[in-house]
Chains A and B, each alone.
Chain A
Amino acid sequence: MEKMHFNYAATQPIERPVHIGVVASGDLEVIMKPTDKKESELNIVTGSDGFKEVWQNVLNRFFDRYPLLADFEINDFGATPGVVNLRLTQAMEALKDEQ
Chain B
Amino acid sequence: MSNSFVELHARQRAEALLDAGSTRELIGPFDNMISPHLEPQNIVPEADDGIVVMKGQLNQKDTVIIAIEGAFQGGGIGEVSGAKIVSALEHVLADNKAGHKEYPIIILDTGGVRLQEANYGLLSISEIHNMVIALKQYVPVIGLVPGRVGSFGGMSITNALLSYVIGTDKARIGLNGPEVIEQEAGVKEWDSSDKNLIWNTLGTKQRQATGIIDEVVDDDVNAFRTAITAAIDENKDSHRDQRGDFYLSLLDQLDPSQPLDIAGYDQLFKQVVAKPHHLAPATSGSQPGTKSRGRNWFELLTGIKNAHSDVPTVLHAQADGREYVAIVPAEDNRFPRVRHGEVGLQEGYTVASVINDLIAADADKPAAEKTPIVIVVDVPSQAYGYKEELIGIHMSLASAASAYARARQAGHKVVSFIPGDAVSGGFLAQGLQSNRLVALDDLDITIQAMSKASSARITQRTIAELEEATKHVPAMAYDIENYQKLGSLYNLIKGVKGYDSDANAVATVKAALDDAFKSLEDAPADLSFRYTNDIAVNGEGGGRKATNKVRALMDQQW
Contact = CB atoms under 8 A, between A and B. Distances in A.
A21 B393 CA distance: 36
A33 B377 CA distance: 49
Contact of A45 (B29, B44, B69): B44
A17 B44 CA distance: 21
B71 A24 contact: yes
A39 interface: no
Q: Which of B29, B42, B73 has the most CB of A within 10 A?
A: B29
A73 B10 CA distance: 20
Contacts of B28: 19
Given A29-B47, A77-B44, A45 B39 contact: yes
Interface residues of A, number: 18
Interface string A7-25: 0000000000101001111
Contacts of A31: 29-30, 47
A40 interface: no
Most buried by B among A33, A46, A73: A73
Interface string A69-88: 00001011100000000000
Interface in B42-78: 42-47, 69, 71-73
A73 B72 contact: no
B50 to A, nearest CB: 8
B36 to A, nearest CB: 13
Contacts of B72: 22-24
Contacts of A67: none
A46 to B, nearest CB: 7
Most B CB within 10 A of own CB, among A19, A23, A45, A77: A23
Nearest to A45: B44
Prevailing SS type, chain A contact patch: strand
Contacts of A46: 44
B406 interface: no
A25 B45 CA distance: 12
* Consensus secondary structure, chain B interface: loop
B46 A75 contact: yes
Nearest to B42: A1
B9 interface: yes
Contacts of A75: 44-47
A20 to B, nearest CB: 9
A25 B47 contact: no
Contacts of B47: 19, 29, 31, 73, 75
Interface string B305-334: 000000000000000000000000000000
Contact of A19 (B10, B30, B43, B69): B30
A96 B43 CA distance: 32
A33 B28 CA distance: 13
Contacts of A24: 9, 71-72
A11 B73 CA distance: 37
A27 B69 CA distance: 13
A22 B49 CA distance: 10
A45 B45 contact: yes
A87 B46 CA distance: 15
B44 A47 contact: yes
Given A23-B44, A75-B46, A33 B30 contact: yes
A75 B43 CA distance: 10
B223 to A, nearest CB: 24
Interface in B68-92: 69, 71-73
B71 A25 contact: yes
Nearest to B32: A73
A25 B44 CA distance: 11
Query: Which of B44, B46, B47 is the most central at the interface, judged by chain A CB atoms within 10 Å of its CB?
Result: B44
A23 B69 CA distance: 9
A29 B29 contact: yes
Interface in A14-70: 17, 19, 22-25, 27, 29, 31, 33, 45-47
Nearest to B12: A22
Contact of A22 (B30, B42, B43, B46): B46
B46 A19 contact: no
Interface string B190-229: 0000000000000000000000000000000000000000
7 closest A-B pairs by CB? A24-B71, A1-B42, A23-B46, A19-B29, A47-B44, A17-B30, A23-B72
Interface of A: 1, 17, 19, 22-25, 27, 29, 31, 33, 45-47, 73, 75-77
14 contacts: A1-B43, A19-B29, A19-B30, A23-B71, A24-B71, A24-B72, A25-B71, A29-B29, A29-B46, A29-B47, A46-B44, A47-B43, A47-B44, A75-B47
Given A22-B69, A24-B71, A33-B30, 20 more contacts: A1-B39, A1-B43, A19-B29, A19-B30, A22-B9, A22-B10, A23-B45, A23-B46, A23-B73, A24-B9, A24-B72, A25-B71, A27-B71, A29-B46, A31-B29, A31-B30, A47-B43, A75-B45, A75-B47, A77-B44
